[in-house]
Amino acid sequence: MAIQTVEVDAAAERVAAAALAEARTAASQRLLAWLAQSGAVPRDLADQPTALTDVLLARDPNDPRYQVLGTFAGRWAADVLRILASAILHRRGHNGRHTPDVAAVEYAVSVGATWATIGGALGISAPTAHSRYRDKVS
């Protein structure tokens, strides 16, 4: 019995939201560490990456924490993108990266899934799937 498209779409939304939330938290941890070196971290946000994330996402100009941290919002946003790209996208020149797509394809191959099945799941042809992943899976 095939999984309904709606169920797949809902699962994909949850995975995407979780990945974005984790990337934001990681970027907040990195920003806090960088700010700690300069002593510019508001006391109530020290070691609180989730709270820092909330402040940056709220963008409240009346929040004194945002008045200090808002100047770093662009740097933080770029770091979120960098983390997501490194984690999720398999980029040319990064063949050693074990991204989620490579891990999923590697497992599928290990249990005998055909390149046609893998390609179909990815929305690409079997030859394209094989070409894209053959050198990345063991």
Share of the chain above pLDDT 90, in %: 54
Q: CB of 80 within 8 A of CB of 24?
A: yes
The per-residue pLDDT for 93 is: 54
What is d(CA 130, CA 117) in angstroms, rounded to the nearest whole number? 11
The per-residue pLDDT for 85 is: 82
The per-residue pLDDT for 112 is: 94
Q: Say which amino acid occupies 53.
A: T
Residues in the chain predicted with pLDDT less than 50, given as ranges, are: 1
What is d(CA 56, CA 70) in angstroms, rounded to the nearest whole number? 7
